[in-house]
Every structure is written in C-alpha cells, then in structure tokens.
Amino acid sequence: MNELKDYQQILSDKATRAETFFAKYPDADALAKNFADINAGKIRKVEPEIMVYGIYNAGKSSILNEVIGADKAKVADVPTTDTVTYYEWNGYRIADTPGIFAPIAHQNVTQEHLKKADIVLFVMSNDGQYERKENYLRMKDIADAGKKVIIVLNDKDGMLGERNDALQDVKRKIAVNMKTVGIENVDEKYCIVTVNADLAHQGRLENEPLFVADSGLDELKSVILSELKRTTSFVLLRNGITQLEEILTEFVDQLESRESSALLREMNRVLETFNRQKISMRRDINAFIDRQADTFGATLPQKIWDNRDSQDRINEVFGAEIERFNSRVQQEIQRQIQDAATILELELKSFTEVKLDASTVDTASFGKILSRLNEVNASSTQALVARDGESKVDPLTTGLTTTFLADGGAIIAKEVAKTALGKAITNSALGKILTSVVPAPFVPITVIVGGILLLKKLFGGDDGKELNAQVDAKNEAERRRVEAEMQARQELNQKCRYLAEELADDLKSAADLGIAETLAMYEEPFKAEIAARKSETAQVADDVLKLRELLNEYDLLRVELGAR
C-alpha cells in the first residue's frame, strides 16, 4: 500500500545524521557546507502542494479532513472559505480553496493559486451537483494549466459497493461533460476515485480500519502518491538526494584515504564491494520490475475485459497474470543474485588470500574474521542439507554462490509473500470495480435501427411517428451504453495502472529487504571486527561503515520517491 509519508522529516533526520559525521572532521568543512547548502536550498524548500477544489457543499472539507486524519477544516453546507487556507500536514501543503460557486473575487483567488499546486483534488458528489456545467469549465482551466485532475466523487448516497450501476452512470456523465467543454485526452488528464467521506470519518472516530478501507480513502491516498511521483516537486527531491549522495561519496573517499591499517583497508574494500553490489542489484532489479509492471498494467485490462461475462474467469485471469508477473521478477532476482554471488565470492577469496605485512596486521583479528565467515558458510550449508537431504559442504571461497542463492531466494520469497501479491482479488483495488465495469449486453446500433426501419416499410401508416420515437429512444440508449462502456474501460485501465505501480513498489521493497538480509550475513564478520576495535583508525573505519549505510538509505529513498 502506497503511503503519504512525511518525506521532509525523513530527509531531515538523515541530514542530521550526516552532519554529525561532518562535525568530527574539520578538514571536511567544504563538503559539509556544500551538503548543508543543497539540503537547505534543494530539499527543505520543496513542499509538495495538494490543492482541494470543487463545489462548496460536495464534501470538500470533509474529504480534506479525512486525508489529513484530523478535523481541521470546518464542515458546513454554506461557503465558509473565501481565501485559500493552507494546512501543513506530513510534509505536504494542502490548500483549501473557495468553492466553485463562491463569489467571483474568491474564485479569482483560487485561479491564482492553481499554478502553485502539484496536483488538484476536484471534489464532487453524486447528489446531482456533478451535472452543473461550471464544474467542467473549472476542470478545463486545471487541465489547460497542465495539472492532473484527481476527481474525488464523494459518495453521499452510499452507492459504493451497493449500487455500482448507478455509480457508473454518474462517472459516465462526468466523462461526457468533460469532453463537452473541450477537455481533450481525457484518459491522461483525469482519474476518478470514489470516496465515502462519512464512512471514512466514522472509521477514524471509532478506530474501525474496515470502515476506512471500505470508504475508498486508502485508494485515494495511493493515487495521490502515484501522481505526486510524476510532479516537479518529487523530481526536485530526487535530484537533491542525488547531489547529497555525491557529496557523501566524496566524504567517504576522503576518510578511507586516512586508513593506515592494512587489515582495515582490506575490510573496507570488501565492504565497499558489497555496498556497490547492493546498490547495483537494486537498480537493475528495480528497472526490471518497472518494465514488467508497465507491461502488466498495459495488458491486464484487455484480458479482464475479454472475460467480463464471467467473474470466475476474471479471477482466474487476474490470478494467472499476477503469478506470471511474480514469477518473472523472481527469476530476474535469482539471476541477479547469481551474478552478485560470483563477484562477491571472488572478493572474499581475494581477502582470504591477501598477503599482509605481519608488522601491521593483527593476525588474531584476521583469523577471527575467517573463522566467522566459515561459521556463516557452515550455517547456510547445514540449512541446505536439512532442506535438500544431501551434503553441500564447500570451502568458504567456493560455497558462497550456492548458499547465497539459497538464502537470498528464501528470504526474498518470504518478503514477497507479505506484499500485495498475496492479496485476494476481492480485497484489491481492482477487485472492487470488476463487477461495476461490465456494461449491458452489446447490440450493434445498425441492427437496432435497421430492424425498426424495416418494420416501418412493412407496416407504414401513422405508426411512423411512434417508430421514429422508438428509433430515437433506442439510439439514445445505445449512445449511453457506448459511453458507459468507454468510461468503464478507461476506469479499468487506470485501476490496473495504479495497481501495477503498487505491486511494483511492494516487490521492490521485498527484493531489497531480501538482498540486504542475505548480504548482512557476510558483512557481519567485518562489521563486528571494526566495532570491536577502539583505535582512532578503527573509529574512522566505523564512520565510513555508517556513512555507507546512510548512502544506501538515500538510494532507497530516491527509489521510493519514484526514481527509475
């Protein structure tokens, strides 16, 4: 599940940790200043803005309160906002704007602030207000300003999950009205998310997570985050993180050059190789997952649509596609692990065979590291024997590939099982709309019209007017059916795309955690030895170790913010 995390606070905490390391080394003041300048100028100044817009009595303030999770905005059936009111929440700036039918001066205030917003939540309700043309003229202003419109349909009548046919009819009319005022490329310019603000409010006050889940609020937050990843604000955050990483990498290089102990230099070299491999694997695996997710999101809607007459068949298709997606990713992860294991095995072998000057090496420490590495290898080998029933005891320098593959695969499989891939279709965002996107049986309009015209020729007389009326009625019914089908397909496409993105994020997290846990077993002997030393050089090595961990966290965060 995508979450609207407080990324500003997360970044601030990481910057504070980095600054504590810079403070220890005065000769790194120039790097420290560059780090502080970028953090202050390109990170802290970025505050993604979410603009809440719409009809004053559609539930705009109610939706805002549920997104924030607190009763901040005043809820009323008359206009209460005549200026833009800002709410600081979780690292985001949420702008509550005057309603569409507020006085002209107030509407002008809203228009002026539109250009500042990253995304716009356009709140409507299903009680008839969505029919008013003024809504769509304002939507066109938003679309023309290059903003993605997230239409939040506040389900005041409780249609969600109960009267999906009526709900889909509302959505059809919204799509038609948008096209009527000249909004082109509707599929790219907007999406519709249905939320029952009252149910979400009840769930929050009564601490009932099921109410909140059924309200559609979680889906709205997920869509907001997905769209924010495409905005300038998130691009600026990602670019700023990249610059911070470059400075920290230079800082690490400076500290490593101070190292006088040959053994510590060798340990740092091994750990640096492990860290580089971890980041390289993450980027390659994430790129593969993104490509698979794009394909999954693009092909799934048609496969579901082709089986729309059978809910059981839809479930089968969906399950098979999820399994195929998962299988491809697992195979790629295994391939990446195998490549990494070969590289890391050579690195460990190089370490065990290194010729060190006896006058500068603590031979007891060196022996201790080798012993701990052998323990890790033996433990993994025993697990394999217990699982497969055969001996696979290998020397340290030739057993890493086998044990790393087994451990990594098992850990990743465990993590993947916790992700959205394990959710039943009825609990997924997609499952909630499947029954609602199936339109009425298709009867070609040419058949309808042709059949009635034939009757007119056969019977003639005064029945012509009645037959014409029937033709017009059937034509109108067919037009509405076609519009409903187009709307349903568009919604299915959007839901599948958002679902694919969420699955990709879950898979990335699972793969990264599995890789990190597996590598940690082989890093631990080196880290333990560095931590056990009390000398000044060991302190530098420990700082290098922690800075590498911080670099890895920054890289993870950049991916989470939408980096590809």
pLDDT(125) > 60: yes
| pLDDT value, residue 186 | 65
Q: Which amino acid is at 219?
A: E
How distant is the alpha carbon of residue 536 from its chain centre? 43
Confidence class for position 451, pLDDT limits 50, 70, 90:
very low
pLDDT tens digits for 190-208? 888 889 999 999 999 999 9
Which of 19-33, 36-50, 79-93 bottoms out in mean pLDDT, i.e. has the lowest? Answer: 79-93
Q: Which residues pair with 51 in a beta bridge?
A: 95, 120
Distance in angstroms (rounded) separating the CA atoms of residues 102 and 69: 26
Stated as kind and residue range, the H or E segment containing 152 is strand 149-154
pLDDT(523) > 50: yes
Q: Which amino acid is at 25?
A: Y
pLDDT tens digits for 533-551? 766 667 888 899 899 999 9
DSSP 78: S
Percent of the chain with pLDDT over 70: 71
Mean pLDDT of the chain, nearest integer: 76
Confidence class for position 453, pLDDT limits 50, 70, 90:
very low
Per domain, the residue ranges of the chain are 1-46+235-261+538-564, 49-228, 263-534
What is the average pLDDT across 522-528? 80
245, 554 contact by CB (below 8 A): yes
| pLDDT value, residue 10 | 95
375, 522 contact by CB (below 8 A): no
pLDDT tens digits for 207-260? 998 888 888 898 899 899 999 999 999 999 999 999 999 999 999 999 988 876
Q: Which residues pair with 93 in a beta bridge?
A: 49, 88
Which of 216-220, 442-446, 465-469, 522-526 bottoms out in mean pLDDT, i.e. has the lowest? Answer: 442-446
28, 254 contact by CB (below 8 A): yes
pLDDT(80) > 70: no
- CATH of span 49-228: 3.40.50.300
| pLDDT value, residue 129 | 66
Phi-psi group of 439: left, alpha or beta (phi > 0 → left; psi -120 to 50 → alpha; rest → beta): beta
pTM of the model: 0.78
Which of 42-51, 67-76, 202-211, 219-228 bottoms out in mean pLDDT, i.e. has the lowest? Answer: 67-76
Helix, strand, coil shares, percent, the chain, to 5: 70, 5, 25
| pLDDT value, residue 158 | 72
| pLDDT value, residue 388 | 46
The per-residue DSSP string of 362-414 comes to -HHHHHHHHHHHHHHHHHHHHHHHHHHSS-----HHHHHHHHHHHHHHHHHHH
Confidence class for position 406, pLDDT limits 50, 70, 90:
low
